[in-house]
Structure 1
Amino acid sequence: MPALTVPLIAPSILSADCARFGEEIKAVDEQGADWIHLDVMDGHFVPNMTFGPVIVKALRPYSRLFFDVHLMIEPVDLFIEPFAKAGADQILFHIEAGPHAHRTLQTIKSFGIKAGIVLCPSTPAQAISEILDLVDTILVMTVNPGFGGQQFLESQLSKINQIRNMVDATGRDIRISVDGGITAKTAPLVINAGADVLVAGTSIYGQKDYRQAMNALRGQDVK
């Protein structure tokens, strides 16, 4: 599927005020966000810890937007059901987190929600070639996962383009998402490479005007 002309914007609440998560989600919802991105870290797969399904469930009433839950955890399968029941609309997991990605994708879909795969910067595009028939979203990390506010890795642009070509060849409706160092300057680079979902934290929640920040990522008039 061709990339969207105007990308979907998925604010990452990792960069929001953690004492006001509910209000922060409601705020970006009202200001024009398309998805809400929730980063789940376990202190094992990545060197940081965030929150679990209880928090996702508590946040669900604050918005009817698409909840995009990114599991940076290992193992994955034990936690699919809790996050699905907590209100996730999509669960993404890392291809690097276990040997049975095909089974994990099937398990996610068995709960009637969308399934996505994530690639760390060091993982080649070809690693997901055998599961394109099951994925709804492919998330390319443009920083090493674990912390917000990192510098964008331009080396990932060629990978995004490779994945865009792979997706277009399938004819399936697969979104290509990017996460890490996404700003008004880097957004055009990843969009031109083939991405159509932009996950952004500090470039949205670090600004005073959330609507203006999201429009800047879309390349729209920010006045």
Structure 2
Amino acid sequence: MDCHIHPSILSADFANFERDLQRISSADAVHVDVMDNHFVPNLSWGPAVVKRLREVSPLPFDVHLMIEDADRWAPEYAQMGCESVTFHAEAAQAPIRLARSLRAEGAQTGMALRPATAVEPYLDMLSELDMLLIMTVEPGFGGQAFLEVTLPKIRRAAEAIAGSGAQLRLQVDGGITEETIVRAAEAGADTFVAGSSVFGAEDLSAAISALREKARTV
């Protein structure tokens, strides 16, 4: 299957971001988690840090906004040149308008759903998206175990995407390892965020290749 691997720099060495971005250059994009300690109980970095990292990255940026007031802040990340910007449905007041504003700024637009958020209310807006992100852990912290309970939702989302004719990727984020990536791919996901399973390896490029090969066996 066609698959994309997006290592999450939430698991990188914070003192050596530029080095670690180079070490994952064989990936398809880098996943950048922006957290505000309000929407999720953790704090990472904001626009200034993301803008600077984007300037030194060899990879496109897949920005995942785990923040309140996504309608206000998401366009700023598109304006700074981030190639893909994902907001949470739970944090958007007007998700269709926000998706269109991100596209107008030249970014691909993604929408994320927490594990317990149903996908069905959002199926009519699939054509407004370039990516749908199904969280496979509760957002906020890296290193969590994959939630098997999310697999039926991934399957339903994949079936809806196929039936709609919309061209968008189905991303999963949380607990992705060489074992769980197979189950997520079997359920229909094609884009995989991996943090500790990549940055915890001695050879980051080999870890990325191993994940990609596992997903392609489906």
TM-score by length of 1: 0.93
Residue 175 (structure 1) shift: 0.2
Residue 61 (structure 1) shift: 2.6
The question of whether the paired residues in 2 share the 8 Å contact of 1:56 and 1:87 is answered with no
- Provide, for residues 165-199 of structure 1, a one-character-per-residue CA deviation record: whole Å limited to 9, x for no partner: 11011212100000000000100000010001010
Q: CA RMSD in A?
A: 1.2
Separation in structure 1 between the aligned mates of residue 211 and residue 194 of structure 2, nearest angstrom: 9
Counterpart secondary structure, 1:149: coil
Separation in structure 1 between the aligned mates of residue 3 and residue 123 of structure 2, nearest angstrom: 24
Counterpart secondary structure, 2:50: helix
Query: Is 1:189 aligned to residue 183 of structure 2?
Result: yes
- Runs of 4+ in structure 1 deviating by more than 3 angstroms, as ranges, are none
Pick one of 19, 22, 40 that aligns with 1:23: 19
Q: Structure 2 unaligned runs (5+)?
A: none
Q: Which residue of 2 aligns with 1:114?
A: 108
Q: Which residue of 2 aligns with 1:11?
A: 7
Counterpart secondary structure, 1:121: coil
After the TM superposition, which residues 1-223 of structure 1 pair with which residues of structure 2 at under 5 Å, given as runs?
Answer: 5-29=1-25, 32-219=26-213
Residue 43 (structure 1) shift: 0.3
Counterpart secondary structure, 1:198: strand
Q: Structure 1 unaligned runs (5+)?
A: none
Residue 158 (structure 1) shift: 0.7
Separation in structure 1 between the aligned mates of residue 168 and residue 191 of structure 2, nearest angstrom: 11
Higher mean C-alpha displacement, 61-70 vs 159-168: 61-70
Counterpart secondary structure, 1:132: helix
Separation in structure 2 between the aligned mates of residue 180 and residue 116 of structure 1, nearest angstrom: 16
Separation in structure 2 between the aligned mates of residue 114 and residue 189 of structure 1, nearest angstrom: 26
Q: Which amino acid aligns with 2:167?
A: D
The question of whether the paired residues in 1 share the 8 Å contact of 2:176 and 2:194 is answered with yes
Residue 82 (structure 1) shift: 2.2
Number of residue pairs the alignment of both structures matches: 214
TM-score by length of 2: 0.95
- Provide, for residues 9-32 of structure 1, a one-character-per-residue CA deviation record: whole Å limited to 9, x for no partner: 000000000111111111101xx1
